[in-house]
Amino acid sequence: MILRIAYLVASLAIIIRCIRADPAPDITTLEEGYAYIVKLACRGCPFLYQDSSAGKDVPWESRNDENALLLNVSLPYDRPILEINHAPIWPVSKVLPRIHATQVLSDFSVTDLAKLIEYGQLEAGHETSSGGAIFGLSYHSSIHHAAGHEAMVIYFDVFEVWSGLPDRPLTVQLDGKDGEQKMVKIVVLKRPVLSALESRESGWEIVTVELVSREGEKFQQEMKFLEWDSFGQIGTPTHAASSFFSAFLEWLDSGVMALFVFIFALVGIFVVLCLFCIFGCDLCGDEYEKAQHGKKRKKSWPNNDLEHGKGKFRSAEELGLLGRGLGGQVVGVGKSD
Ligand SMILES: *[C@@H]1O[C@H](CO)[C@@H](O)[C@H](O)[C@H]1NC(C)=O
């Protein structure tokens, strides 16, 4: 009996070890139609690692080991946006997003992957024996409509990776000569509208995620990691405009906003006061204005009686304007007429 138990325990241990060592597949489905993890083999990339047994803050080193990049391909239920590692790649925006990916060894196991997912560290640096370096991706992408806009085929090809982790930053071209380097092909499909409550826009789901040969694809977009930042391609007018706008927003955000509001309030009060003065004075000067207006109209007749006008003008003096020291002005106005 004891022997049998010992045998059972031993075989269980072997089975568990086998499962643990099972390398993760190229495509792991987390949620059918919405969430996938792609393990994209990185041809020609050195494997970066940190020998943490030698203490903290040791430099990153590289060795030649087959490795792969992890891509989190997801499509939220409520929005038609396809994301790779949190970066929206469809629909295409003017500013192509920067995408980072974690590097792992090719035989990265299912268990390790499950752990990364559980701890939400898929796109964060993590130091395990199987890797954890973060790379910035330079990529091509293109999007093709199919079946009359009811389906989209999205190609995503990483052609270069960059890492600033080693002392000397590293840039590696992904080897495409022998057709070994694969790209990601994603097909998304418009879901049939099942209920009236569902908005039409949101009805998309991922049908397939696969790795295919990148040969023959003419890519529509290109994003070079070092030439782009969050405002777009450095040196282009779009970049200049959006970085200026963002700097302006930041400036407003940095407490100057309060001052700005204060100044605006002051200007507002000033304007209200001005308006009040203008309209207020308009009311005061109404009678005089009317008199002037009437005079002008009468003058426009060819057989104008100057004496009449004078009489009117005098009546203004009689109103007491002269007495208040405004006489000069009034006379002036009369003359200019
Ligand atoms: C993958 O990305 C989506 C959104 O971009 C996120 O909600 C999800 O948690 C990510 N999955 C993993 C396993 O990190």
CA 51 – ligand 1 centroid, Å: 28
pLDDT at 278: 84
Tokens of 324: 């208040």
Same domain, 59 and 175: yes
Contact 132, 142 (CB under 8 A): no
Please enumerate in sequence order all residues whose Cβ is within 8 A of that of 89, keeping only pairs 6 or more positions apart, or say none. Answer: 82, 83, 96, 97, 99, 141, 154, 156
Higher per-residue confidence, 284 vs 269: 269
CA distances from 26 to 113, 176, 223, 289, 319 (A): 12, 18, 24, 87, 98
pLDDT higher than threshold 90 for residue 247: no
Based on the fold, state whether residues 104 and 204 are members of the same structural domain: yes
Q: Is pTM, for the whole model, over 0.75?
A: no
Give domain status of residue 296, yes or no.
yes
Q: Quick one: 182 and 269 in the same domain? A: no
At 127 the pLDDT is 58
Residues 98 and 178 occupy one common structural domain? yes
**CA-to-CA separations, 203 to 79, 246, 304, 337, in angstroms, rounded:** 8, 33, 81, 75
10 falls within a domain: no
The answer to whether residues 37 and 104 belong to one domain is: yes
Query: Tell me, what's the pLDDT at 77?
Result: 84
Q: Which single residue is written with the structure tokens 């196991």?
A: 109
Q: State whether 228 and 258 are in the same domain.
A: no
Measured distance CA(61)–CA(167) in Å, rounded: 9
Helix or strand (DSSP H, E) at 114? helix 110-118
> If you average pLDDT over residues 266-294, what whole number do you get?
72
Are residue 174 and residue 67 in the same domain, yes or no?
A: yes
Ligand 1 pocket, CB under 6 A: 72, 74, 83, 86, 117, 120, 122
Same domain membership, residue 208 and residue 137: yes
Mutate to test the pocket of ligand 1, among 72, 89, 123, 206 (most ligand atoms within 8 A of CB): 72
Q: How far is the CA of 28 from the centre of ligand 1 (A)?
A: 13
Q: How many structural domains compose the chain?
A: 2
Cα 209–Cα 76–Cα 160 angle in degrees, nearest 5: 50
Least confident of 4-13, 117-126, 233-242: 4-13
Q: Does residue 237 lie within any of the structural domains? A: no
Based on the domain organization, do 51 and 199 belong to the same domain? yes
The reply to whether 79 and 148 lie within a common domain is yes
Domain assignment present for residue 310? The answer is no
Is 34 contained in some domain? yes
Looking at the fold, whether 284 and 202 belong to one and the same domain comes out as: no
293 in any annotated domain: yes
Distance CA 291, CA 75 (A): 75
Angle at 244 between CA 239 and CA 247, to 5 degrees: 125
Pair 116, 164 in one domain: yes
Residue 7 lies in a domain: no
Distance from the alpha carbon of residue 257 to the mean position of ligand 1, in angstroms: 35
Range of the domain at 279: 254-302
Distance 32 CA to ligand 1 centre (A): 14
> Which numbered atom of ligand 1 lies nearest the CA of 76?
4
Average pLDDT, the chain: 78
- The token pair at 66 is 């087959």
Residue pair 34/77 in contact by the 8 Å Cβ criterion? yes
Cβ atoms < 10 Å from Cβ of 28: 17
58 or 127, which is more confident: 58
Burial class for 94, CB neighbours closer than 10 Å (0-12, 13-18, 19+): exposed
Q: Are 155 and 182 in contact (CB under 8 A)?
A: no
Nearest to 225 by CA among 37, 313, 97, 62: 97
Across the strands, what pairs with 151?
146, 189
Cα 328 to chain centroid, rounded: 67
| Mean pLDDT score, 316-327 | 50
CA–centroid distance, 86 to ligand 1, in Å, is: 7
More confident residue, 32 or 321: 32
CA–chain centroid gap for 168, Å, is 30
Q: How far is CA 188 from CA 24, 42, 124, 153, 185, in A?
A: 24, 25, 27, 7, 10
Q: Categorize the per-residue pLDDT at 333 as very low, low, confident or very high, splitting at 50, 70 and 90.
A: very low
How many beta carbons lie within 10 A of that of residue 312, not counting itself? 15
- What confidence score (pLDDT) does residue 17 get? 54
- Asked if residue 16 has pLDDT above 60, the reply is no
Residue 313 in domain? no
Ligand 1 atom nearest the C-alpha of 37 is: 13
Mean pLDDT (whole number) for 188-201: 69
